[in-house]
Each structure stands twice: as C-alpha cells, then as structure tokens.
Structure 1
C-alpha cells in the first residue's frame, strides 16, 4: 500500500512492471518497493531537505515463500518455513501443481461473492464425499460423467496429511498409464507427469487405483481435479482449478478461482480443459450452483438463536465409544502419506476445524518488526514523516543497524502518550500510533475455540 494514504498500489491481477504508480496522488515506486518519485516534491514537501525519498519503501511481506509457483504470504514474520507448514500435504499438492517440468499456465482469477461463511467451502473441499450423490444428483442425470458419482464416491478414499486433506476417486483396474487415459489425459501429458511425479505418487494411481479430486489446505486454499464430458460421447476431459476463500465477514466470502493446465499441453487440450472447468466450477459452474445453495442456507440458519442451542452431528466415521467405523488404510493399500480412510467419513472436517480452533487460541502475530520508514521525535516508526528536523532521519540500513524496538516497548511508548482526557491517544499521529489487538476479541476467540472443540470433539486421528 502507498506510503502516503495507504492506497493499493498494484491493482492488476496478472502481468509485470518495472515501476508502479499510485493512482490516488501519483507517488511512484520501483518494483522492489523503493520510493522513486512524488508529484510537486519541492513545492509540497520542500524537496530533499523537507522529505528525503532515500530510504522510503513500501512495506515488505512479513513472510513470503513459493511452492510449485504458488506464492504464500504470512503476516507473521516468525512463521515457520513454508515447506514445514505444508508438510506431508506437499505430496498431494504436487498432483495439482506439478504437471510437467514446463510449469503451469494459469488463467484467472474469476472472483465472486457468496453469502456464506468461508469455512463451509473449505471443509466441503477437504473431504466431503458424502454430499456428492445427493447435492449433485442432477449432474449425474444429465450424463456429465461416465458412471453414477455415488458409485465413484463410496469406494473413494479421504486422506489427511499435516495441514491439508482431500478426497480421491477409485479408478478401474489398469496400469498407471491406462488409468490416466481413462480420465482423459493424452499420452504426451502422461509421459510428462511420469517424469516429475515420484514413484510413490505414481503408485497411488497405478498400484492403488486412486486419483485425487478435491482438497483443502489450512486455512483457506482449496483445489479440485475432475474429468467431465464436454460433448456427446464417452470422451472426458480433465481440468484443475485452484481457489482461495477470502472472508468478507462471518456471513460473506469472496472466492478467487483460477484454472491451471500444463503449459506444454496442446492448444486443443487447453481449450477443452478450460471449457470443462467452466462447466463444473467458477461463478456459473453446475457444481458451484449446487454447492452454494447449501452453503448459503447453512450460514443463514446458523445465524439464528435456535441454531446456537443445537449440537450438530459431526461424528461420521466414529462409533459411540470413539473408535473408527473403519480402520485407516495400511501403507500397502494407500501409498500416500498421512492418514487415509475408505468410504464416507468426517475425519478431515474434524481435523480441519480442530486446526482452526487451535489457531484461535494462538496470540496475535506481531507485525511491528515489518515497519519500514523513519522515526518521528517520539521514536515510533512511521512510513512518512514531515515533522522531523531535516537530515535527521536515519536510512533503512541505519535503522536496521540500531535495532527494532520490541513489542512491549512499542506498547509502553503508546501508553505513555495517552492521558485521562485522551484515552485512545488521539493526540498522536495515526501513522505513529500502535494499534493493539482488542483484549475482548482475543478472549472471545478462546471462548469460540472451546465451544467448537466441545461441539466437534477432538479427532483422535491415528498416525502411521
């Protein structure tokens, strides 16, 4: 965001540029974040003597990393490395994002809003095979798939690996190549997949007969892989879609959805795969329409007072004494990491919501150490300063050398500036004032976490 008024500087969904110009007042930045120009610098700010551009830069991402071309950003500068965060889920993420050594071609995003809580979609993608034969019955009736989806789903497997989980389909007997052809992949794409997928990933398809479908990674990343018919006949065309669920509030979510395809695939395949994606998912997809109707209804019902008194049943896959209805699959039957269960269950949903409940109990991440700029006379970092004596502002390197103040020191400085007549520190500039997390919000989060844990129970997921 711009250092002047906080305007979003880059608003394009795709592309690259060497410079960025804020559309509000015209402050300009290099693509490394450095401020390089502002209109009427001399007239409005007194030039370099009044406001020195050197050392001024956009706020960096507190924690940024990428995996297979996906860029992950955390607001916690002390967050664990991305590879550790993803853990064993990387095995399954590769199926969606590692189609060949040529990388992925991505289209989108499509963006739309739904009047539903963001967690409902995430948990649905994470492991809900149970809804498919009911919610999506019309999709089967019009012949979009080769066989009834209920038959495909009851023999499928759900898996949970570290911070993510998903569903699979059971494929007819055959080799790795034969099974990949069955779901519509041409031979050249199958060859490229076999070159980048590990032996264990190929065994999951070739030996075990399972192919990934929908999945979610905590907190709000979901993926889907399917292979519908796009015209009359028996031929099917696979597609891959990646999406995020961005909460607007507890009752509304903005969905960002991308289409992904092997960049080395033929133009004909790319065109047909994109058509298959649009038929099923996206703002007008047939699956999407079915799902959203359910999610909106659940959100509306949950907002009522009666719903707060009801303890919902989320015990699918568990006996009354907590033992599993069906034991997890052995490594010989399922070559993927994590814990896998065959048939209908809610292990993944319980695991996902347990992660969410644990997350609510964590203290808020401190982003104070990511502040960039110069210090005002009170010693508080502020991106833009006009009230400091000229040539007294340290550069970024000098500021880093002298060290950042700790979280407690910033809070203490904030409290010292307050007075009984000015309890919220309005006398200080907004840019210099530290906004602390609301104590009642933190306490409320813990209360919610406890309530959710009581309602959903702890998933006693066996490990192997």
Structure 2
C-alpha cells in the first residue's frame, strides 16, 4: 500500500485520505491484514435449527458450509473438495446428511468427514495410496458464537469471540436477547451496491448527523411519530470494545412506559426486564436512552427502529442485522436479516417484518436514501484528485485534539464504554483506529495442510530479497 505510514497517521488524527474508499491497494491490504484476523459473522443458529440443516456463506472469497451435524453441533467447513477443489455444495441452504462433490463424486458427512471415494481401491490402491480415514473438509480456523450469532475467523489463534466483543456484548444483548429463547432471523436478503464496505459500517456505527439531511423526506411523509429528524441530536453515541452505536432519547417515564412508547407489548417488556441486567434496564428506564443503529468491527451492523405500520399513530419496532461483504474496493454485497424475539406474538412478528421491509429491506426508504450517498462517495474517491484530499472526520474535536462534549457519567448513562450526547464522529474514528491497527499488522502466515498422501520432501531454502 503506497504511503501506508502517512495514510494511517492521517486516519488516526481524523483526517481521512479520500482514496481509502476506492483504492485496490488498500483493499488488498484489508484482505491480507484485517479480514484474515477478525471475527466475521456467517449465520444465526436459528437458520440451522435441525440436524442436517445448512447454509452456505462467504468470508470474502472463502465459501463455508455452516451445518448442524448428526450430533447437533454447528460446524463451518471450507466448501472445497479435497480432490480437485470443486465447490462441494452449490445450494445456498437446505438439509442434508451428506454432501457430494459433483465433479468426481467424493462425498462427505455433514460434519465434514469423507465417507465416499469412487473406486478407492482401483484408482488409488486403497489406504496405501490415499489415506481416507480421518480426512475431512477443512474446518474454519476458528468458530465461535454469541447469543446464537455464529462467527468464524481465518486466524486459528484468534481470541475467543466474547473477548473480542468486549463491552459491546452489553449492547448486543438488546438486539439478540429479549427473552430466554433468544431470537430468530429471516433472510438474508442480498443485493450489491457500487460502494466501499467501510462506508456502511461507519454510517451505522455513529452517523446521526446525516439523518436530518438524508432522511428528511422519511420524516416529512409521517413514517415516524417524532416531529423532526433533528431530534437525533438529543440521543447519544456510545463506543465499547469492538463496536459502538447510537441511541434515541425517549420521553419521561418508567422502563415499561418507555418500551411501550417504542411499541413493545406488555408481555415482551416483562420478558426483557427479566432477561436483561439491572444496568441494561437502567439505560432505558433510568437514563431514557433507546438503542438504534450500531456496528461491530469490522463489517457487521444492526438497526432498531419503530416506524408507523398502519394508518394510526401507533408504532412498531423492528430489528435488522446486516453484513457489509466486500467484493472489491468499490463494490459491496449487503446481506440483511430480519431479527425478532422467538417468543414474540405472531401478530407482532408479522407487523415488525413489514416495518423492516418498509425501512431497511432491499427497497426500503432508508436504504435508498443511504445508498445514493455511499455510491457517490465511492465514485469520487476513485479519481486522482481524491489522492490530494483529506476528508474531515474530526467532528466533536478541537484543533488540539480534545473533545468539547464531556462523556456521560455513570450516573447519566449506565452502559459501559464512552457515551456522549449530540452529534460527533467519535465512533467512526474508533472504527477507523481499529482498521489502522490491523493494516499495520503483517499478513497472516498460513501453512499448507497435507491431505491423504505422503509427506512432501523438504524444500530447499529460498533466499528472500526484500
């Protein structure tokens, strides 16, 4: 990556080299240094509830079969046949006890173990030629889950997912643990946008500043009960661990009254109180903040909102989870799931899904507003002039680097991390600081794995000229 030291130094002081949003060299560095080490969301356990259920998901160029095996364990296996590298499973989802490669017919159990090899004796001389026993599809180097969210990492030495999430797990519970049964997801909807993946992650992490401008029409048509988009400045931005997000400021009231204002029925509110910690309850009931959009580094985002879904002033909340899957430096595949509490009434689930589609589905009103901005930014970042421009990402900072809005005290905000009321780009800077830290790391070293044959002869030493 050209001028890497200068690029990263500028990012860390909040002055963003415009070309990082459309630069093939930057994208290569992200693939080698960031996505090779971070935890990446691939599925939710509700997508593979029964033995044999599977979905096929990607982490950049790597396809994985996420399967619940015969023992009920969830596995993530590299979707490449051990023989000549054909994609083993070409369906996006289904139920299967075995997977059979369409090229030469090698077959594997849904835990990855090889069980079928045509003409094993005639073609290979049996076990003496290809040791079938113990061979399996390559597992993901690391696999872990939190509240049913399944993640993989390309790094076999990755820290446990819970450690990686840090204090952001406190906020993730609001989206994914509203009852003892957890949530279920529907989707994903998929679409591609000609925009860099970082823009969406930054936007969801903390950009309340764009709402009064970009989404004015959504408020004007009466989709939301709030009279002005400017009310976003009354909420806060918070950052904790590997993620951060935004909140709305709710009207005065108790925990129950404030969640009812958002549109939750009494039975769901009762389960939330029982499920969440006293501090999680206090963020809403004592402090009056309700979680909205958020991002988990590097490319997972969530949103919680409560639009009108009928010809009344009643509102109904929805939760959506989305992944910004990089395709190239200037194209992103968006995967979007609808999320809802398993124990929610069926009538609530149906209306909540309608609210999700209306706002953040592939043709949702918010989605259309946002994408127009992101595509324009990416296009502008691809020109030669963009290499001369440092974008100002210092909102909330003075020239000397100090912040002029004080962080909320524990008496004002019960959540962990650092929270500030009003507009600011604190979270975007935190996200890009993590990005810069990863781009300074060396590429992750990988070691070839021997599959069913004799050990290779040691290679002669190779002199590396730097």
Q: Normalized against structure 2, the TM-score is what?
A: 0.79
1:313-358 Cα deviation digits (max 9, x unpaired) = 1110011222212111111101100000100000000110011011
Is 2:237 the partner of 1:183?
A: no
Secondary structure class of the residue paired with 1:257: strand
Of 146, 159, 164, 1:85 maps to 164
Is 2:290 the partner of 1:211?
A: yes
Deviates more, 1:280-289 or 1:144-153: 144-153
Name the CA shift for 1:79/1:235 in 2 (closer, same or farther; >3 Å).
Answer: same
Larger RCO (CA under 8 A, 6+ residues apart): 2
Is 2:318 the partner of 1:236?
A: no
Cα deviation for residue 120 of structure 1 reads: 0.4
Could you say which residue in structure 2 is the equivalent of 1:378? 456
Could you say which residue in structure 2 is the equivalent of 1:134? 213
Could you say which residue in structure 2 is the equivalent of 1:359? 438
1:303-452 pair list within 5 angstroms: 303-368=382-447, 371=449, 373-374=451-452, 376-379=454-457, 413-414=458-459, 416=461
Is 2:331 the partner of 1:267?
A: no
Number of aligned pairs? 387
Could you say which residue in structure 2 is the equivalent of 1:457? none
1:10-69 Cα deviation digits (max 9, x unpaired) = 444445432222233322111221100023434433444432321211111111110000
Of 279, 282, 285, 2:358 maps to 279
Could you say which residue in structure 1 is the equivalent of 2:45? none
Structure 2: 5+ residue runs without aligned partners? Answer: 1-79
Secondary structure class of the residue paired with 2:238: strand
Could you say which residue in structure 2 is the equivalent of 1:157? 236
Q: Is the 8 A contact 1:166 1:213 kept in 2?
A: yes
Q: Distance in 2 between matches of 1:260 and 1:22?
A: 33
Q: Distance in 2 between matches of 1:193 and 1:64?
A: 28
Cα deviation for residue 210 of structure 1 reads: 0.3
Cα deviation for residue 266 of structure 1 reads: 1.5
Could you say which residue in structure 2 is the equivalent of 1:33? 112
Structure 1: 5+ residue runs without aligned partners? Answer: 380-412, 420-435, 441-464
Q: Is the 8 A contact 1:115 1:296 kept in 2?
A: yes
Could you say which residue in structure 2 is the equivalent of 1:433? none
Secondary structure class of the residue paired with 2:181: coil
Name the CA shift for 1:238/1:14 in 2 (closer, same or farther; >3 Å).
Answer: farther
Q: Distance in 1 between matches of 2:121 and 2:360?
A: 53
Q: Is the 8 A contact 1:75 1:367 kept in 2?
A: no
Q: Distance in 1 between matches of 2:94 and 2:149?
A: 15
Q: Is the 8 A contact 1:126 1:216 kept in 2?
A: yes
Could you say which residue in structure 2 is the equivalent of 1:393? none
Is 2:199 the partner of 1:124?
A: no
Q: Distance in 2 between matches of 1:378 and 1:111?
A: 43
Secondary structure class of the residue paired with 1:9: coil
Could you say which residue in structure 2 is the equivalent of 1:54? 133
Deviates more, 1:53-62 or 1:155-164: 53-62
Is 2:368 the partner of 1:289?
A: yes
Q: Distance in 2 between matches of 1:27 and 1:106?
A: 33
Q: Distance in 2 between matches of 1:120 and 1:71?
A: 24
Of 155, 159, 174, 2:253 maps to 174
Name the CA shift for 1:236/1:123 in 2 (closer, same or farther; >3 Å).
Answer: same
Cα deviation for residue 292 of structure 1 reads: 0.5
Q: Is the 8 A contact 2:107 2:115 kept in 1?
A: yes
Q: Is the 8 A contact 1:222 1:243 kept in 2?
A: yes
Q: Distance in 2 between matches of 1:80 and 1:363?
A: 17
Q: Distance in 1 between matches of 2:124 and 2:301?
A: 47
Cα deviation for residue 82 of structure 1 reads: 1.1
Could you say which residue in structure 1 is the equivalent of 2:102? 23
Structure with the higher strand share, 1 or 2: 2
Let me know the Cα RMSD of the aligned residues. 1.9
Secondary structure class of the residue paired with 1:368: coil
Q: Distance in 2 between matches of 1:13 and 1:161?
A: 34
Is 2:331 the partner of 1:252?
A: yes
Q: Is the 8 A contact 1:244 1:256 kept in 2?
A: yes
Could you say which residue in structure 1 is the equivalent of 2:41? none
1:281-306 Cα deviation digits (max 9, x unpaired) = 12111111110100000000000111
Q: Is the 8 A contact 2:129 2:453 kept in 1?
A: no
Q: Distance in 2 between matches of 1:149 and 1:16?
A: 48
Of 80, 100, 107, 2:179 maps to 100
